[in-house]
Amino acid sequence: MSDTRPVISEVHGQIGHLILNRPAQLNTLTLEMIRLLQQQLSAWADDPTVRVIVLRATGQKAFCAGGDIRALYDSFHAGEHGHFDFLEEEYVLDQFIHHYPKPVIGLLDGFVLGGGMGLAQGCSHRLVTERARLGMPEVAIGYFPDVCASYFLPRLPGRLGEYLAVTGVHLAPADALYAGLADHAVRHADLPALLEQLHQYDWGADAHSELDSLLVAFIQQPEAAATLPQWQTAIDRHFAAADVPGIIVSLQSVTDQAEAVWATELIELLHSRSPIAMAVSLELIRRGRGHSLAYCAELEMHLIRQWFTKGDFIEGVRALIVDKDKQPRWNPPQLELLEAAKVAAFFTETPEAR
């Protein structure tokens, strides 16, 4: 595609398309893109000629791999306010999509990570292809799951929310469906035909139910079976621990041979993550459980306002994106050195729960 706009908006028939268009950057989001998406969605919300929205992306690798974290890093180091502007407006957009008055189809093809999940989880119809990989991997860069993750992760079965937040693992299509982070699987090869059906359809009074019926012909079972059901009981047991050290102790106590292999791999992964990010992520997911979308957004923004100076994000981006030495100097460097008071301090003067 020769169009260089970061977000392309098109209308075909009665379908409005919003296309993320930074494929070389895995369609990571910038402030300009957030504003373009917000502006066009606001216009289409009041446009009776547009009945359904399709949110998709260009490129072969990603729907959206998150926010442009290098831009946030640069803004912080320049002493600017752009990183806060981006995050504040991203939260407005994500909540707007959750409450959008018309069907929004998220075509989740390739990586759907971080900020991409923020866009996707508000969509009324979340369609994953066989190439989709979903996740909230923020702990790997010294951050916590944001974009209203404290709202949508605690609503997953059992302790999957804590598991995904603390480990940062990615989910293949069948596991995304099992967890409730996607609604249907479709084949990548069928997307052109699906879009053509949407364009040609004569939409009536109830676009939501009509879309449900139209999608039936395209829904497929993922080729690879879900793996999470095998580990659901174990996840529920280990990730119910009071804190991250407790989770690791629980994983270390496994005696079943097959589970021990899985647990050992998890322990190794956890030891590579930012201790403060994991601890705050666990507390965040538990605080969000049962609360409103608006409250969870406020709670996360409360953390964000502190995190650039008190968390590990800047160091994580330096190590993984800027210098690329992949040797982050976490503060503290080990879980054993993390004081509970440091975690609790992030949650003082939190917004009133509702």
Q: What does the pLDDT look like over 42-99, one tens digit per residue?
A: 999 999 999 999 999 999 999 999 999 999 999 999 999 999 999 999 999 999 999 9
pLDDT of residue 352: 78
3-state secondary structure of 352: coil
User: Cα-flanking dihedrals φ and ψ of residue 28, to 5°?
Assistant: -65, 150
* Strands of the sheet with 170-171, listed across from one edge: 62-64, 111-113, 133-135, 170-171
118 is an active site residue: no
180 is catalytic: no
- Which residue bears the tokens 């912080």? 76
- 204 counts as catalytic: no
Q: What is the pLDDT of residues 14-41, one digit of tens each?
A: 999 999 999 999 999 999 999 999 999 9
Closest CA to 277 of 140, 154, 150: 140
The yes-or-no answer on residue 110 being catalytic is no
Neighbouring C-beta atoms of residue 336, cutoff 10 Å:
8
Burial (0-12, 13-18, 19+ Cβ within 10 Å), 348: exposed
Element (H, E) at 5: none
Question: CA torsion 247→253→257→261, rounded to 10°?
Answer: 40
Stated pTM of the model: 0.96
Residue 159 token pair: 């302790």
How many helices and strands in the chain, by DSSP H and E?
16, 10
- Catalytic residue selected from 16, 67, 110, 142: 67
H helices present in 99-219, as ranges: 115-120, 149-152, 160-167, 173-179, 191-200, 207-215
Q: Which of 94, 146, 162, 175 is flagged as catalytic?
A: 146
Cβ atoms of 66 and 114 within 8 Å: the answer is yes
Question: How many whole angstroms separate alpha carbon 321 and alpha carbon 188?
Answer: 30
Alpha-carbon separation of residue 234 from 158, 160, 211, 252, 266 (angstroms): 10, 10, 37, 12, 12
Flag whether pLDDT at 1 surpasses 60. no
User: What is the token pair recorded at 139?
Assistant: 């702990």
Pairing assessment for the beta strands 133-135 and 170-171 based on DSSP bridges: antiparallel
Which string of DSSP letters, residue by residue, matches 319-351? IIIIS-------SSSSGGG--HHHHHHTTTTPP
323, two tokens: 């210098």
Which helix (DSSP H) or strand (DSSP E) does residue 227 occupy? none
CB 269 within 8 A of CB 167: yes
**What are 29's strand-pairing partners?**
67
Catalytic residue among 110, 115, 135, 142: 115
Spot the catalytic one: 90, 94, 138, 283: 138
CATH 3.90.226.10 fits 7-218, yes or no: yes
pLDDT number for residue 2: 77
Tens of pLDDT, residue by residue over 111-135, are 999 999 999 999 999 999 999 999 9
Q: Domain locations in the chain?
A: 7-218, 229-345
pLDDT in tens, 80-96: 999 999 999 999 999 99
Q: Summarize pLDDT for 291-345 with one digit per residue, the tens.
A: 999 999 999 999 999 999 999 999 999 999 999 999 999 999 999 999 999 999 9
